Amino acid sequence: MRLGRDPRTNNLVFRDDAQSGSISKSHCELRYDRTRSMFVLMDSGSSNGTFLATGQRLVPFVGADLRAGDCFYLAQRSTMFQVDSK
């Protein structure tokens, strides 16, 4: 799943307004790795960053492993997501 403001390239699209202005056109990608039974989150070189719930900013284009229940956010904590296995 790709997250960002560009509806042509993303599955989860944020509106292009002041509230989501900190979200990049192509912000990040979340995929499920079946062989390891975990999710992989990767920042797509966004301007304002993708963060783990701890506040750790992801290195662009380097995957971070997440398990069900883990949280992450885009640019600011108000865009927090929780990974769910359902």
pTM of the model: 0.89
- pLDDT, one tens digit per residue, over 1-30 is 999 999 999 999 988 764 556 999 999 999
How would you class 61 by CB atoms within 10 Å of its CB: exposed for 0-12, middle for 13-18, buried for 19 or more?
A: exposed
Place of tokens 């662009």: 60
Task: Provide the 8-state DSSP code for 57.
Answer: B
- pLDDT, one tens digit per residue, over 59-78 is 999 999 999 899 999 999 98
Identify the domain containing residue 19 by its residue range: 2-82
- pLDDT at position 82 is 95
R_g of the chain computed on alpha carbons: 12
Q: What's the CATH number where 67 sits? A: 2.60.200.20
- Name the domain count of the chain: 1
